[in-house]
Amino acid sequence: MVDFILTADFHLTETAPVHRKDDYIGATLRKLKFLTDLKDKYNCPILCSGDVFHYWKSSPMLISFAIKNLPNMFSVAGNHDLPEHSLQLYPKSSLHVLELVEKVVFLNDVPINVGGFTVAGFSYGQELHTTGSDIVVLHEMVFQSPPWPNAVGYRPRDLVELFGSAKLILTGHNHGAFVEKVGDVWVVNPGALMRMSIDSKDYKPRCYLYSSKDNTVKEVFYPIDEDVFEDAVVSSVVKDDQLKAFIEQIDFSWQGGLSFKDNLERFFKEHNTPRKVREVIWRSLETTN
Domain with residue 125: its CATH number is 3.60.21.10
| Domain identity same for 176 and 282 | no
What is the model's pLDDT at position 278? 73
Residues 212 and 242 in one domain: no
Confirm whether 230 is domain-assigned. no
Buried b (16+ CB within 10 A) or exposed e, 117-146: bbbbbbbbebeeeebebbbbbbbbbbbeee
**Dihedral (C-alpha) 273, 274, 276, 277: value to the nearest 10 degrees?**
-30
**Proportion of the chain above pLDDT 70, given as a percent:** 84
Which domain range does residue 272 map to? 238-288
pLDDT band at 215 (very low <50, low <70, confident <90, very high): very high
Percent of the chain with pLDDT over 90: 68
- Is the pLDDT score of 150 beyond 80? no
Confidence of residue 141 (pLDDT cuts 50, 70, 90): very high
pLDDT in tens, 192-212: 999 988 878 889 999 999 999
Q: Indicate whether 217 and 257 sit together in one domain.
A: no
Domain assignment present for residue 39? The answer is: yes
Contact 194, 10 (CB under 8 A): yes
Per residue in 252-264, pLDDT (tens digit) is: 555 545 556 666 7
- Asked if pLDDT for residue 6 goes beyond 70, the answer is yes
User: Which of 196, 221, 246 delimits the end of a domain?
Assistant: 221
What's the total number of domains in the chain?
Answer: 2
Residue 229 lies in a domain: no
Report yes or no on 179 lying in a domain: yes
Instruction: Look at residues 221, 255, 279 and tell me which one is the last residue of a structural domain.
Output: 221
Q: Which of 172, 187, 221 is the last residue in one of the domains?
A: 221
Same domain, 202 and 270: no
User: What's the mean pLDDT when you consider all of the chain?
Assistant: 88
Considering the domain architecture, whether residues 14 and 61 belong to the same structural domain is answered as yes
Same domain membership, residue 255 and residue 208: no
pLDDT at 289: 46
Residues 242 and 217 in one domain: no
In a shared domain, residues 100 and 11 = yes
Clarify whether residues 284 and 184 are in a common domain: no
Q: Average pLDDT, stretch 41-69?
A: 97
